[in-house]
Amino acid sequence: MAILLLLALPLLLYSPSLSSASDSLTKGSSLLVENTNDLLISPSGTFIAGFFPVGDNAYCFAIWFDEPFCSNNCTIVWMANRDQPVNGKRSALSLLKSGNLILTDAGRITVWATDTVSESSVYLQLQESGNLVLNNSEGDILWQSFDFPTNTLLLLQPLSKDKQLVSSRSQTNYSSGFYKLLFDNDNVLHLLFASPSITSLYWPDPELLVFEAKRSTYNNSRRAYFDPLGNFSSSDKFFSKSADYGANFQRRLTIDSDGNLRLYSREDKRDAWTVSWQAISQPCIIHGICGPNSVCNYVPSSGRNCSCLRGFKMKDVTDWSLGCEPEIKLCSTNETNFLRLTHVQFYGYDYGFYPNYTLDRCKEVCSQRCDCPGFQFRFSKHGNPNNTPYCFVKFRLLNGYRSPSFEDDFYLKVPITIPLYPAPVEESRLHCAVEITKLDRVYTKIPENRTLKFLLWFASIVGAIEFTDCKPDVEGNYDKTQMKILVGVALKCANEDKDTRPTMRQVVEMLLQYEKHNSESVEFTIE
């Protein structure tokens, strides 16, 4: 039957059409990945469950909000197999005669199962709350998706003991990411960064004691949920009202791939989601956000940016969470200096705390340790009645964060060959310090001085434009293709989210590619 269907409907394009969707699945029936109408719809049509495309010929069985025109970017609220997508052919969700609900990949292996058993008849239904429920004819609930959240809680869906929300890897990759919302052993609801090599709690503020954070450790029921009015509350006494508290809106609580926990709301399925509450207002506080050996800067317009420390380079130019790696191994040389970075702090990973050590003694401690990349030093009168210095010697540089409010200085160990001129942090991402107005499509026309300045600045960094004897001759004597590339970069800089800007290395690669082919093969999408 499945094979016949497959032959009959070979190349249907995905679209979340509602035409012949069923309202429940019974024993012996299946939802087939090829059949785009094999969907479960909640009674009033708020939610849809079915196979959702997550990549090239890759599908996950998911629940999402019904929204107009959301073909492959609908708001997913639950996934069965986020870390193991199935093939676009011969994959199915089947309710077996035994009562077990299974997801099979390409007609062969079972990638997911509810492991339920029932002698009597069973029904799989998507309720109006967004809960996918498997019940028997006695009305007992055998399994429900609300008990196995992925990255989102829906209205009145509790986060309970031993459950957690886990972020997606990125906005476009639905696999499990590094951020979690869970109750820890102290009965307190926490946000946790958990990469393969590092785990650290970052909410509530780890520098506060539990009671200072207005939480309680005494209620071990461990439950958190949000109510219809927009009050998110938890058994550890945490609660917070949404900005639109009281309104009868659609809502969802999601741990986003950037590690922030946000309550979203909207009046209607045709509206865009707005953030009505978030756990963290200063995104650089989120651990792991820029990876090791880098510094997070707070940028009012876009939230944050990341940059590598001097002497370090990005490990993977497409992924900041991997951070930066040293350009030169420091222990291969005994000749080191310390570069002072003002208002910079690296949270945690102290090898030791040395009270009342002078700067020179602190330097000495770090110099003598091969594994010491630097130290935090404070010599401030504020909050320091004895006027004694503090020296925190680090063994790893994580959670780097620059803020004018920090009185600390950080001293970075650098090879003696690196100049100590005062440029605190090496910027490795495209720098759009000069504000750019939209350029004309015609790349030879440069309408504004600011743009010109930017291009000159940019060119001097990349070394892409030939200058006549730094009078820069930008009006005439330049390579049109290179200029086109530069203008393209400038436009990217002006138009896009700052976090998605190309890095210097990518820009250089683009230019090198041009040189290799010596043709107009490098194209930017210029609006």
Ligand X SMILES: *[C@@H]1O[C@H](CO)[C@@H](O)[C@H](O)[C@H]1NC(C)=O
CA pair distance 138, 158, nearest whole angstrom? 24
Among 2, 6, 22, 55, binds ligand X (CB under 6 A): 55
Tally of CA atoms within 13 A in the half-sphere of 196 that contains its CB: 3
The verdict on 503 binding ligand X (CB under 6 A) reads: no
Residues 103-132 that bind ligand X (CB under 6 A): 123, 125
* Residue 164 contacts ligand X per CB under 6 A: no
231 binds ligand X (CB under 6 A): yes
Q: What are phi and psi of 7, to 5 degrees?
A: -70, -35
> In sequence order, what are the beta bridge partners of 60?
52
Pick from 186, 325, 426, 427 the residue near ligand X by CB under 6 A.
Answer: 427
As a whole number of angstroms, the distance between CA 55 and CA 182 comes to 29
Q: In the chain, how long is the greatest CA-to-CA distance?
A: 89
**Which residues, listed in sequence order, are joined to residue 125 by a DSSP beta bridge?**
24, 133
- Residue (32 or 40) nearer to ligand X, CB: 40
In 3D space, the residue among 132, 68, 57 whose CA is nearest the CA of residue 95 turns out to be 132
Q: Among positive and negative, which fits the CA dihedral 288, 424, 316, 396?
A: negative
Contact residue for ligand X among 369, 396, 431, 505 (CB under 6 A)? 431
Q: Determine if 221 is a binding residue for ligand X (CB under 6 A).
A: yes
Tell me the window of 88-96, 297-305, 323-331, 502-510 that interacts with ligand X (CB under 6 A).
297-305
Residues sharing a CB contact under 8 Å with residue 82, sequence separation 6 or more, in sequence order: 60, 150, 168, 174, 175, 176
Whole-angstrom distance, CA of residue 409 vs CA of residue 345: 7
Residue 514 host element (H or E): helix 504-517
Q: Which is nearer to ligand X, 89 or 343 (CB)?
A: 343
C-alpha span between 122 and 98 (Å, rounded)? 9
Judged by beta carbon, residue 241 or residue 369, the one nearer ligand X is 241
Q: Does 241 bind ligand X (CB under 6 A)?
A: yes
Structure tokens at 497: 């989210």
Closer CB to ligand X, 22 or 175, in the complex? 175
Does 69 bind ligand X (CB under 6 A)? Our answer is yes
Interface characters, 177-216, with ligand X (x: CB under 6 A):
----------------------------------------
Smallest distance from ligand X to CB 172, Å = 8
**Tokens 């079915």, residue?**
50
Q: Is 409 helix (H, G, I), strand (E, B) or coil?
A: strand
Q: How far is the CB of 305 from ligand X (least distance, A)?
A: 4
Q: Which of 46, 144, 219, 337 binds ligand X (CB under 6 A)?
A: 219
What are the residues binding ligand X (CB under 6 A)? 55, 69-71, 73, 123, 125, 135, 137, 139, 169, 173, 175, 219, 221, 223, 231, 233, 235, 239, 241, 272, 297, 299, 305, 307, 334, 356, 386, 388, 427, 429, 431, 433, 449
